[in-house]
Amino acid sequence: MSKRSDEVRTRVLVVEDEESFIDALTVGLTREGFDVTIARDGAEALAQFAPRRYDVVLLDLMLPKVSGLDVCRSIRGASDVPIIIVSAKGEEVDMVLMLELGADDYVTKPYRLRELVARIRAVVRRRESHDDVEADEETIERGPITMDVEARRCFISGDEIKLRKKEFALLRLLLENPGRVLTREVLIDRVWGSDYVGDTKTLDVHIKRLRGLVEDDPKNPEYITTVRGVGYRFESPKRDA
């Protein structure tokens, strides 16, 4: 992996109170080319944070002084910076609530640095591409999938697939939010409408059909992944070097 020295480094605010994690993250993320700032509790995080000062916030939930939940709410009130929630295994976390509060993604401790780095890059990339093309994208390209929004056509590695109206809308929503967890509520609301009163299994049936079309191995999805108890996520395809 080559790093140009003139490259603009992604600035990460790491909100974390456990020393062992602080050390590992500082070393690991710096080595990956990130510019790391540490806040050791919720109050420090809020004092450190200012709009446009950071490209991404990595936010531990269990924090001294001000809880991660309140930090998330405050930051989101002031900025649309990507926020990745970090929770400990076994911790009771209402992830649906966190996502409603505006968190973009989350990881559970213990996590692997590689996975964390991939998640950070995905939310940052997503935000950048949003900034670039705020207007309606006519063509969305993610991995092998190409979607021509206006013509309502979709291609996998160049071969056209036929999608029904709701399938198209669902896949489009997922493609427009790579790397982001979309809750079942959001997906149903956006694709079927807030007054939808049908069976929520409908969503899973549609996801199953999309996987059948998009995935090499639908039982082991690589692109449309399940976030248990929460919803689904379109995995941001890695940029091949």
Which residues are near Ca ion by CB under 5 A? 17, 60, 62
Query: How many angstroms separate the CA atoms of 48 and 91, rounded?
Result: 26
Residue number with CB closer to Ca ion (40 or 119):
40
Q: How far is the CB of 69 from Ca ion (least distance, A)?
A: 13
Written as six digits, the tokens of 236 are: 């941001």
Residue number with CB closer to Ca ion (24 or 133):
24
Q: How far is the CB of 59 from Ca ion (least distance, A)?
A: 10
Residue number with CB closer to Ca ion (109 or 125):
109
Q: How far is the CB of 64 from Ca ion (least distance, A)?
A: 8
- Number of residues assigned to the chain: 241
Q: How far is the CB of 13 from Ca ion (least distance, A)?
A: 15
- Sequence-distant (6+) residues with CB within 8 A of 59 are 15, 45, 68, 71, 72, 75, 83, 84, 85, 86, 103
CA 124 to chain CA centroid, nearest Å: 9
Residue number with CB closer to Ca ion (80 or 94):
94
Q: How far is the CB of 26 from Ca ion (least distance, A)?
A: 16
Contact 218, 211 (CB under 8 A): yes
Residue number with CB closer to Ca ion (26 or 129):
26
Nearest residue to the partner Ca ion, using Cβ: 62
Query: How many angstroms separate the CA atoms of 19 and 15, rounded?
Result: 11
- CB-side neighbour CA atoms (13 Å) of 199: 5
